[in-house]
């Protein structure tokens, strides 16, 4: 039996500058695009997460090995590249029931903690709009940086904002915000500032952190913008869920 037949296939996605980190494990390059500064490889080995000076290596969605740069701006470029080019059939790559349960738990938290007869909620990084299937008495708006995701969410009947609409949202517009499996993707400080800006006073933000990635960085930004952590839920299924109040 060839090695390829028995070991799960994964694709390594790396910035060219970090190539040497994974070169020992590379089986064969499948694509190199020097213009966009990325290398892709087929990878056939055990799964692993590693921390190496200059980057971290993360097993993602059981199909990718991501070589993530330490620098957040660079990391963001890699996440955008991955979602633009490879996560084109998102719902077939994830367990949608699992994500929907995570979203439902977040919406339940928002409903319990927000004391208002009206509930306007933003699903930040809404993906394909799974929250449209959740049980919630208020109105859910979606926003995603990825155009294909926004289109898929719209098709589910979600009220989806385009980038311009998101950035021009007025102060204190939402009672609550949820971010399900989105805050690990190198969120920018301007985006965190905007999220705090559009949240009402006493409003609630709830987010989980995939593999705890970027948790400390986002917590530092949120506390800088005067959000307080009101609860931290250790959840075996969804990682750490943080609840913040403005
Ligand atoms: C792993 S998916 C999660 C989708 C959905 N929330 C779920 O639980 O199924 C992460 C989504 O967040 C979006 N995202 C990541 N960073 C973002 C940002 N800075 N602004 C808006 N959307 C972002 C990605 O495009 C992607 O669709």
Ligand 1 centroid – CA 172 distance (Å): 22
Residue 118: the pLDDT is 87
**Complete DSSP assignment for 146-211:** -HHHHHHHHHTT-EEE-HHHHHTPPTT-EEEEEESS-TTS---HHHHHHHHHHEEEEEEEEEEEGG
Q: Is-contact 193 225, C-beta < 8 A? A: yes
Asked whether residue 88 carries a pLDDT value surpassing 60, the answer given is yes
Ligand 1 binding site (Cβ under 6 Å of any ligand atom): 83, 99, 103, 125-127, 130, 143-146, 149, 180-182, 185, 187, 191
Q: For residue 61, how far is its CA from the centre of ligand 1 (angstroms)?
A: 14
Distance CA 52, CA 58 (A): 11
- As a whole number of angstroms, the distance between CA 230 and CA 16 comes to 41
In angstroms, rounded to a whole number, what is the distance separating the alpha carbons of residues 30 and 42?
6
Minimum mean pLDDT among 1-15, 125-139, 169-183, 207-221: which range? Answer: 1-15
- pLDDT tens by residue, 5-22: 444 566 777 676 555 555
pLDDT band at 78 (very low <50, low <70, confident <90, very high): confident
Q: Give the pLDDT of residue 175.
A: 97
Pocket test for ligand 1, best of 130, 145, 163 (most atoms within 8 A of CB): 145
Distance 145 CA to ligand 1 centre (A): 7
Decide which of 143 and 30 is more confident. Answer: 143
Q: Whose CA is nearest to atom 26 of ligand 1?
A: 127
Assess whether pLDDT exceeds 60 at residue 73.
yes
Average of per-residue pLDDT across 38-61? 65
3 pLDDT tier (thresholds 50, 70, 90): very low
Domains of the chain: 3-87 (no CATH), 96-245 (3.40.50.150)
pLDDT value at residue 66: 84
> Residue 207: beta bridge partners?
179, 242
């Amino acid at each position: 039996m060839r090695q390829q037949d028995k070991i799960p296939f994964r694709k390594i996605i790396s910035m060219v500058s970090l190539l040497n980190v994974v070169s020992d494990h590379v089986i064969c390059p499948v694509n190199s695009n020097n213009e966009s500064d990325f290398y892709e490889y087929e990878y056939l080995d055990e799964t692993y997460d590693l921390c190496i000076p200059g980057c971290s290596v993360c097993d993602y969605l059981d199909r990718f090995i991501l070589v993530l740069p330490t620098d957040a701006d660079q990391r963001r470029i890699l996440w955008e590249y991955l979602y633009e080019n490879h996560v084109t059939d998102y719902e077939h790559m994830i367990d949608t029931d699992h994500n929907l349960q995570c979203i439902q738990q977040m919406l339940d938290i928002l409903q319990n903690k927000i004391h208002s007869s009206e509930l306007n909620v933003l699903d930040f990084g809404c993906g394909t709009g799974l929250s449209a299937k959740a049980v919630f008495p208020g109105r859910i708006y979606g926003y995603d940086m990825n155009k294909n995701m926004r289109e898929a969410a719209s098709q589910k009947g979600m009220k989806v904002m385009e980038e311009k609409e998101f950035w021009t949202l007025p102060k204190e517009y939402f009672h609550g915000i949820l971010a399900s499996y989105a805050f690990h993707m190198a969120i920018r400080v301007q985006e965190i500032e905007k999220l705090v800006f559009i949240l009402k006073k006493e409003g609630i933000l709830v987010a989980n952190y995939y593999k705890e990635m970027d948790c400390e960085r986002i917590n530092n930004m949120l506390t800088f913008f005067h959000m307080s952590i009101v609860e931290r839920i250790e959840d075996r299924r969804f990682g750490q869920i943080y609840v913040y109040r403005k």
